[in-house]
Amino acid sequence: MAAAERVVLEEEFKWLLQEEVHAVLKQLQDILKEASQRFALPVGGSEGAAKQESFVLSAAGMDQVKGVLTLQGDALCQADLNLKMPRSNQIMHFAFREDKQWKLQQIQDARNHVNKAIYLLMNRDVNYRFKTGSEVLKLMDAVMLQLSRARNRLTTPATLSLPEIASSGLTKMFSPVLPPDILVNFYINLNKLCLTVYQLHVLQPSTTKNFKPAGGSILHNPGAMFEFSNQRYEVSHVHKMECVVPWLNDALVFFTVSLQLCQQLKDKVMALEKGTYDILKI
Partner 1 sequence: MAGNSLVLPIVLWGQRAPTHCISTLLLMDDASMIVTGCHDGQICLWDIAPDLEINPRALLFGHTASVTCLSKASASSEKQYIVSASESGEMCLWDVNDGRCIEFTKLACTHTGIQFYQFMVGTQHEGRLLCHGHYPEILVVDAASLEVLYSLLSKISPDWISSMTIIKSNRTQEDTVVAVSVTGILKVWIITSEVSRMQDTAPVFEEESKPIYCQNCQSISFCAFTQRSLLVVCSKYWRVFDAGDYSLLCSVPSENEQTWTGGDFVSADKVIVWTEDGQSFIYKLPASCLPASDLFRRDVGKAVENLIPPLLYSVLDRADKQLLICPPVTRFFYGHREFFSNLLIQGDSSGRLCIWSIPDTLEQQDCAKGLQTTTSISLQEAFDKLTPRPAGIIDQLSVIPNIKEPLKVTASVYIPAHGRLVCGREDGSIVIVPATQTAIVQLLQGEHMLRRGWPPHRTLRGHRNKITCLLYPHQVSSRYDQRYLISGGVDFSVIIWDIFSGEMKHIFCVHGGEITQLLVPPENCSARVQHCICSVASDHSVGLLSLREKKCIMLASRHLFPIQVIKWRPSDDYLVVGCSDGSVYVWQMDTGALDRCVMGITAVEILNACDEALPAAVDSLSHPAVNLKQAMTRRSLAALKNVAHQKLQTLATNLLASEASDKGNLPKYSHNSLMVQAIKTNLTDPDIHVLFFDVEALIIQLLTEEASRPNSALVSPENLQKASGGSDKGGSFLAGKRAAVLFQQVKETIKENIKEHLLDDEDEDEESIRQRREDSDPEYRSSKSKPLTLLEYNLTMDTAKLFMSCLHAWGLNSVLDELCLDRLGMLKPHCSVSFGLLSRGGHMSLMLPGYNQPVGKPSYDGVELSRKMSITEGLGKGTYGVSRAVTTQHLLSVISLANTLMSMTNATFIGDHMKKGPTR
Q: Is 71:39 a contact under the CB 8 Å cutoff?
A: no
Instruction: Work out how close the CB of 274 gets to partner 1 at its nearest, in angstroms, rounded to a whole number.
Output: 8
* Alpha-carbon distances of 208 from 21, 204, 205, 211, 224, rounded to whole Å: 68, 9, 9, 9, 16
Q: Is 261:32 a contact under the CB 8 Å cutoff?
A: no
Instruction: Work out how close the CB of 180 gets to partner 1 at its nearest, in angstroms, rounded to a whole number.
Output: 21
Strands (E), 26-178: 52-57, 65-72, 75-84, 91-96, 102-103, 174-175
H-run or E-run covering 30? helix 21-39
Site residues for partner 1 per CB under 8 A: 43-46, 103, 105, 108-109, 112-113, 115, 119, 123, 127, 131-132, 134-135, 138-139, 142, 144-145, 148-149, 151-152, 155-158, 189-190, 218, 259-260, 263, 270, 274, 278
Q: Is 125:186 a contact under the CB 8 Å cutoff?
A: no
* Angle, CA of 193, 198 and 203, to the nearest 5°: 160
Instruction: Work out how close the CB of 26 gets to partner 1 at its nearest, in angstroms, rounded to a whole number.
Output: 17
Is the Cβ of residue 20 or residue 135 nearer to partner 1 in the bound state?
135
Is the Cβ of residue 83 or residue 104 nearer to partner 1 in the bound state?
104
Is the Cβ of residue 139 or residue 241 nearer to partner 1 in the bound state?
139
Instruction: Work out how close the CB of 131 gets to partner 1 at its nearest, in angstroms, rounded to a whole number.
Output: 6
Q: What distance lies between CA 129 and its chain's CA centroid?
A: 34
Is the Cβ of residue 81 or residue 114 nearer to partner 1 in the bound state?
114
Instruction: Work out how close the CB of 108 gets to partner 1 at its nearest, in angstroms, rounded to a whole number.
Output: 6
Is the Cβ of residue 85 or residue 130 nearer to partner 1 in the bound state?
130
